[in-house]
Amino acid sequence: MSVIALLAANLVALQGQALQLEQPAEPGLEAVTVHWQDRAVPFVRRADGWITIIGVDLDVETGEYAAELALRFADDRVETRTQPIEVRSKDYPTTELTVEPKYVQLSPENQERSARDSREIAAVYAELTPQAYWSEPFASPIPGVQGGRNFGHRRVFNGEPRAPHSGADLRAATGDDIRAANAGRVALAKDLFFSGNAVFIDHGLGVYTTYLHLSEILVEPGQMVGRGELIGRAGETGRVTGPHLHWGVRILDARVDPFSLLSLSSGTPQ
Ligand SMILES: [Zn+2]
């Protein structure tokens, strides 16, 4: 039976990758939830079954993991099944830099501002919208640009490791159109200390995309956007050295390469 086949198969993911989970339709099946990295994520109904997306954070240790699926049936029966997931390593480059301390130390004011930004961002990511706003595959925010640089790049300043670069940098000129990677709800749209003009979109099921360093923001918090809708223009606001689009994806708390979302087939129409 197809269910057995699904559960017997080891899913393989690389560190820093999005992964789609699928559960075929079964008679009486009314809800599916997966427990992954201490969070419970719902599945949504698609034409031929149920799907959800989970993220394998770039710093998750390699090895065998078990995602626990809970299936609830019409007669209130709940069945638990295990989906094995093998996480394989992916090497991300590290650059060691020695710089004058004044270039890496923030003033108390800026420290406070960036801490405030971090709290606001953490509050956004803590929200898990239990539905999927999208029904088509994810797309590049700059149509035609199918790759970026620096995802997972680790930098060590004066011997102190910084958080790895959690998005991909896409080539763009100031003023270039930036489009929503998929349908969703604008969760945050404002100027942030490090990120400059930033747009965060909640796509549901814990999937967020972020668009940073914009010269212009063209959406407002709470606004629903469609796939490919114009949300801003590229720029070089925030702490950057030139115009580009920093495109990021968070899935619950996992930092994943945004381009790994594009290869998922979760767009199967509802
Ligand atoms: Zn970046």
Whether residue 146 contacts residue 259, with contact meaning beta carbons closer than 8 Å, is answered with yes
| 42-62 residue pLDDT tens | 999 988 899 999 999 999 999
Can you read off the two tokens belonging to residue 125?
Answer: 């990511």
Show the domains of the chain with their CATH numbers: 2-88 (2.60.40.10), 97-262 (2.70.70.10)
pLDDT at 268 over 70: no
Is residue 178's pLDDT more than 80? yes
Task: Tell me, in angstroms, the distance from the centre of ligand 1 to residue 150's CA.
Answer: 7
Distance 148 CA to ligand 1 centre (A): 9
What pLDDT, on a 0 to 100 scale, did the predictor assign at position 47?
Answer: 82
Q: Please give the distance, rounded to the nearest whole angstrom, from the Cα atom of residue 17 to the centre of ligand 1.
A: 17
Structure confidence by residue, pLDDT tens digits, 95-143:
998 888 777 788 999 999 999 999 999 999 999 999 999 999 999 999 9
Distance 168 CA to ligand 1 centre (A): 6
**Section 131-159 average pLDDT:** 93
**CA 36 to ligand 1 center in whole angstroms:** 27
Q: How many angstroms separate the alpha carbon of residue 74 from the centre of ligand 1?
A: 47
Q: How far is the CA of 85 from the centre of ligand 1 (A)?
A: 29
Query: How do 94-97 and 154-157 pair as beta strands?
Result: parallel
Q: State the greatest distance between any 2 C-alpha atoms of the chain, in Å, as a whole number.
A: 66
Q: Which DSSP state fits 103? A: G
- C-alpha 246 – ligand 1 centre gap (Å): 4
What global pTM score does this model have? 0.93
Q: How many whole angstroms from 242 Cα to the centroid of ligand 1?
A: 11
Could you tell me the distance, in angstroms and rounded to a whole number, from the CA of residue 165 to the centre of ligand 1?
6
As a whole number, the mean pLDDT across the chain is 92
Is the pLDDT at 269 greater than 60, yes or no? Answer: no
Calculate how far, in angstroms, residue 101's C-alpha sits from the geometric centre of ligand 1: 22
Q: CA–CA separation, 202 vs 135, rounded Å?
A: 14
Amino acid identity at 264: L
How far away, in angstroms, is 54 Cα from ligand 1 center?
22
Which runs of consecutive H residues, i.e. helices, occur in the chain? 2-8, 108-126, 259-262
Ligand 1 centre and the CA of 70: distance in Å? Answer: 37
pLDDT, tens digit, 9 for 90 and up, residues 190-238: 999 999 999 999 999 999 999 999 999 999 999 999 999 999 999 999 9
